[in-house]
Amino acid sequence: MAQRLATEYVKTCLQLTEAEMFKFFQMFVEHQVTLQVKVLENGNQEVVFQDGAGQEIVLSFEQKSGLYECTGSCRLSNTLLANLMRKAVSEFKGSAIVNRIYPGYTMVYYYELGTVVKIEEVKGQLLTIIYEYKDTIGQLEQMFQKKEVEREIDAIYGQINQLLDLRNAMQEQDMHQQIDTRLRELTHRLFTLEA
């Protein structure tokens, strides 16, 4: 197995409550990572995580609507810090693009709401999709919705045919106008559904 050279967290986004922020810090402290927290005058925080080998992560948390939002990027060569960041993104439902860099290629992981939704392998100019999340339930729901529309279209066609038969059978002008009004409404609805 190839040795990972570095892990790069690109476009990382975490939104934490104050309790989750404490849990986030605790997760690193439990793995003997030291941290320094600088509380800025506007309530924002800058956190420096340091492992024993001198590798560090600097994350800025901006206070927004009662949440602490961390957006940014970092490059790590330490496996412990990389794994803790992966665990944090997953546990706290974050989003990120993570480049795991190996000699000769890079594996790119896309996280949404803490879950990997896509994995790509990049070798020079060649990009290969290794995994991509398929929303099967969502696709089935869309298919069901389409069938509902098809049923409504069929029902409208039936109503239009009945109204046309009725119009042909009637001789009174008043009835023709009422039927024509209803036919216009149905054809407009039909046009909307088929669009």
Quick: pLDDT tens for 15-43: 999 899 999 999 989 988 888 888 888 87
Q: Which range, 43-52, 68-77, 95-104, 136-145, is most confident?
A: 95-104
Helices 136-169 + 173-194 axis angle, to 10: 160
Please provide residue 40's backbone torsions phi and psi, each rounded to the nearest 5 degrees.
-85, 165
Q: So where are the chain's domains?
A: 6-133, 137-194
pLDDT over 70 percentage in the chain? 98
Residue with the bigger pLDDT between 4 and 13: it is 13
Q: What are the start-end ranges of the H helices in the chain?
A: 18-29, 79-91, 136-169, 173-194
Under 8 Å CB-to-CB from 166, ≥6 apart: which residues? Answer: 175, 179
The confidence score (pLDDT) of residue 1 equals 60
The reported pLDDT for the residue numbered 89 is 94
For residue 56, the cross-strand partners are 50
Residue with tokens 């609805």: 189
Chain CA centroid to CA 162, Å: 47
* Residue 11 near residue 96, CB atoms below 8 Å: yes
Confidence of residue 72 (pLDDT cuts 50, 70, 90): confident
Domain formed by 6-133, architecture: 4-Layer Sandwich (3.60)
Where b means 16+ CB within 10 Å and e means fewer, 76-97 reads bebebbbebbbebbeebebbbb
